[in-house]
Amino acid sequence: MVPVPEDLPEMEYRYLGRSGLQVSAISLGGWLTYGGHVENENTFACMKAAYDAGINFFDCAEGYAGGESERIMGEAIRKFGWKRNDLIYWGQANGERAQSTTSVSPASVSSKAPTWLSNGSNSTIILLGNLRMDCRRNRLSAHATAQRLNLIAPIMEQPQYNLLARQKVEGEFLPLYNEFGLGLTTFSPLKFGFLTGKYNAGIPSDSRLGTSQDAFATRTKARTGDDSWKEDIAAVEKLMPVAEKLGISMANLAMSLGLEE
């Protein structure tokens, strides 16, 4: 197993919106990685290292690697015997993005609960999400409906947030934080690896994009050389002197945005 560095700072924990639930400031997600791209033993090692570093928030979905990501991450939970109060599991009922779910109706979401439980998350607090609700209008509608029916309104959102994608978190959703106490569990702080600089000269053959057969990776590779790709790379190249001046890696610079309070 991968040991946690002795000089690693203590993990910070933050409240998830107004829910009263405390989660680690950094989470570990299984998209594009576990259940396919990374071998099982390496998945176990990554999850154990994350847990030992204080991470208690794990993100997965039934659509990741056709369900294999959930299965192998659940197997890690069982393997290490982590307890109910140790973890928060973020599972997504994300409709058309999933391999096996064609609806995000209450009946459909309820039918997936046994699957999440059987994948090992019965030892965790489970948060369910719906990635279709990804705009401010949908959020306002959901809160209004919950208030009218005396239900619990959504407590969190999971938008992409990084140095190359800031508009939704810092603009569109801004009024929702104070009005509804919306919590954030953002994803892709490294912009799928772009912000490390490793794709500046193209896609390395041994990189995740270079080896993954995932549909998203395939679509991303198809962007190589187009205008949006060039814009991302140009922005990364402008940021590299900033990281160098600060004496930190590009990955550290990118991660610092999401860790700001």
The stretch 150-172 carries a mean pLDDT of 88
Percent of the chain with pLDDT over 90: 33
- φ/ψ of 220, rounded to 5, equals -65, -40
* DSSP H or E run through 215: helix 215-222
75 pLDDT higher than 80: yes
Q: How does the average pLDDT of the chain come out, rounded? A: 81
Active-site positions read 64
The stretch 97-113 carries a mean pLDDT of 49
Q: How confident is the model at residue 139 (pLDDT cuts 50, 70, 90)?
A: confident
120 pLDDT higher than 60: no
Nearest CA among 34, 98, 38, 45 for reference residue 72? 34
- What pLDDT, on the 0 to 100 scale, is given for residue 173? 85
98 pLDDT higher than 50: no
The stretch 92-97 carries a mean pLDDT of 51
3-state secondary structure of 91: strand
The domains located in the chain, with CATH, are 1-127 (3.20.20.100), 141-188 (no CATH), 191-260 (no CATH)
**Residue 196 and residue 237 in contact, taking contact as beta carbons nearer than 8 Å:** no
97 pLDDT higher than 80: no
**Longest CA pairwise span in the chain (Å):** 54
State the pTM of this model: 0.81
92 pLDDT higher than 70: no
